[in-house]
Amino acid sequence: MKVLVAVKRVVDYKVQIRVKADQSGVETENVKMSVNPPDENAIEEAVKLKEQGLAQETLAVTIGDDKAQDVLRTSLAMGIDRSILVKSPNSLEPLAVAKTLSKIIEKENPDLVLLGKQAIDDDSNQTGQILSALLNWPQACFISDLKIEGNKLFLSREIDEGIEKLETNLPAVLTCDLRLNTPRFASLPNIMKAKKKPLDIIDISTLGIDTNPKIKVLKVEEPPKRKAGIMVNDVKELVEKLKYEAKVI
Tens digit of each residue's pLDDT (9 = 90 or more) over 191-237? 888 888 989 999 999 999 999 888 888 888 888 888 888 888 999 99
- Walk me through the domains of the chain, giving residue ranges and CATH numbers: 2-245 (3.40.50.620)
Q: Is the pLDDT of residue 58 over 90?
A: yes
pLDDT of residue 66: 92
Task: Quote the pTM value.
Answer: 0.85
* Residue 243 φ/ψ region, left for φ over 0, alpha for ψ in the -120 to 50 degree band, beta for the rest: alpha
- Between CA 238 and CA 245 the distance in angstroms is 10
How far apart CA 68 and CA 8 sit, in angstroms, is 8
CA distance 230 to 67: 47
Amino acid of residue 95: L
With contact defined as beta carbons under 8 Å apart, do 74 and 186 qualify? yes
CA atoms of 74 and 77, how far apart (whole Å):
5
Long-range contacts of 49-54 (CB under 8 A, 24+ apart): 49/1, 49/3, 49/112, 49/148, 50/3, 50/79, 50/81, 51/79, 54/1, 54/148
Instruction: Report the C-alpha gap between 132 and 174 in whole angstroms.
Output: 9
Task: Kindly report, residue by residue over 88-119, the tens digit of the pLDDT.
Answer: 988 899 999 999 999 999 999 999 999 999 99
